[in-house]
Amino acid sequence: MSMSTHVIGFRPPDDTWQRMKAVWDACQAANVDPPEEVIDFFNDEEPDPNGVEVEIPTREWRDDAAEGFEIDVAAIPAGVTIIRFYNSW
């Protein structure tokens, strides 16, 4: 089993996020699938309270004893207030 590391950013919830979340919650309460537009908005995931997921441009970095990612802070999309680093298996 291999591990991969990911870096994603989040823009805080705005009015659109709040409306989409309300639809999501209503569908969950009614035990029905949310509309495709809502599913797409949340990237086929349960809504994250941190807001809208945004891709963070990264590049791989390594030297003789370590490896990881670099982020050019000037390339972080506008409005991003949270950056999440996570590993998945």
Q: Summarize pLDDT for 5-64 with one digit per residue, the tens.
A: 999 999 999 999 999 999 999 999 999 999 999 999 998 999 999 998 999 999 999 999
Query: Which residues are registered as beta bridge partners of 52?
Result: 11
Burial tier of 42 (Cβ tally within 10 Å: 0-12, 13-18, 19+): middle
Mean pLDDT of 61-78: 93
The domain segmentation of the chain, as residue ranges, is 4-88
